[in-house]
Every structure is written in C-alpha cells, then in structure tokens.
C-alpha cells in the first residue's frame, strides 16, 4: 500500500489551499529545512477529515503541552496553530544525536467550511493535537425532499 503525502480529495479544498501550498513552497525555496526535500510540507503536517457536523484537524506535535500552543479561528474559516517546540536543556555531557527539531512555528489552514468558533474543541493526546471544528448551521448538508407530481 502506497500512501502519497498530499492527497486533497475535495476540489473546493484543493482550490482554497492552492495559495497556502504555493506560499509554503515559496518559503521552502528561500531556505530552511525544506530545501531540496521533495514534497516537504509546512510544520506541523496535518490530516483533515469532515463529517456532516464538523471538520476535524489533527497534527503530530510530540513534546508539546496545550499551554505551549495558541489555536485561533479567524475570519470564520481560518484555523491557525501557533507554538514553539523547546530545545532540550542538559547539564554537563555530550549530545550524540540531536534529530528532534525545535523552534517556533505557525500554520494557517483555510477550511472548506465556515465553522462555529465558539464550539471549537482542542485536545492533545499522546503528542497528537486534535481540533474539532463544528460547521456553521448554514454549512451543514441539508436533505432536500424531492416531491413527485
């Protein structure tokens, strides 16, 4: 089974996030860790689902507490995840490996629906951020009864 890392499966989503993708690529081109890595994405990488009621965003953020994160919804459909991953501090000794990244980050996602920002819930479970954003009433799918003659 091969899974590609970038799989927008919804055409609306595709359009809305095209700008974000281009922006990210621009930043990567200007240096940083993303340089030269095929398919590198902004930090943190996210997975997004939707059901009839809500949009669910997940991101892997190991080592962070909720207090290290600022999560905002602006403009009705923009989610921003801001935070900082601190570097390990140690006393006298030697670092043999330092592969775990650190630094400040911000990721802004444009959601395909307007969400009810008063009802957004965020939690961290074993280093995975899970944000549930209930859709605005107007954005929820409606069943339309088709009447016969």
Partner 1 sequence: MAEPNLQSQKDRAEQMTPERTRGGVSFMPRVDIFENEKELTLYADMPGIRPEDVDLRYEQGELVLHGRFQPGQRQGHSLLREYDEGDYYRVFQIHESIDNSRIEATCKNGVLTIHLPKLEASRPRQIAVRGQ
Q: Which residues bind partner 1 (CB under 8 A)?
A: 1, 3, 5-10, 13, 17, 32-33, 37, 39-52, 55-56, 60-65, 85, 87-88, 90-105, 112, 124-128
- What span, in angstroms and rounded, lies between the C-alpha atoms of 57 and 9? 15
36/148 with CB nearer partner 1: 36
17/73 with CB nearer partner 1: 17
CA 142, 8, 119, 117 dihedral sign is negative
| C-alpha closest to that of 127 among 4, 34, 44 | 44
Least Cβ distance, residue 56 to partner 1 (angstroms): 7
Least Cβ distance, residue 72 to partner 1 (angstroms): 19
Least Cβ distance, residue 38 to partner 1 (angstroms): 10
- What span, in angstroms and rounded, lies between the C-alpha atoms of 6 and 115? 24
129/149 with CB nearer partner 1: 129
62/75 with CB nearer partner 1: 62
Residues 6+ apart with CB under 8 A from 81: 44, 59, 69, 70, 71, 105, 106, 107, 109, 129, 131
Least Cβ distance, residue 120 to partner 1 (angstroms): 17
Query: Strand 128-134 to strand 121-125: parallel, antiparallel, or no bridges (unpaired)?
Result: antiparallel
């Amino acid at each position: 089974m091969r899974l590609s890392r970038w799989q927008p499966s919804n055409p609306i989503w595709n359009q809305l996030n095209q700008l974000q993708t281009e922006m990210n690529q621009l930043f990567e081109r200007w240096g940083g860790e993303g340089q030269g890595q095929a398919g590198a994405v902004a930090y943190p990488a996210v997975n997004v689902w939707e059901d009839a009621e809500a949009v669910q965003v997940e991101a892997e953020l190991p080592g962070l507490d909720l207090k290290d994160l600022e999560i905002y919804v602006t403009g009705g459909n923009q989610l921003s995840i801001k935070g900082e991953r601190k570097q390990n501090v140690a006393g006298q000794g030697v670092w043999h490996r330092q592969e775990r990244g650190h630094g400040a980050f911000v990721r802004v996602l444009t959601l395909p629906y307007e969400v009810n920002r008063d009802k957004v819930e965020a939690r961290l479970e074993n280093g995975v951020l899970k944000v549930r954003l209930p859709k605005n009433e107007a954005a929820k799918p409606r069943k339309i009864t088709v009447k016969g003659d």
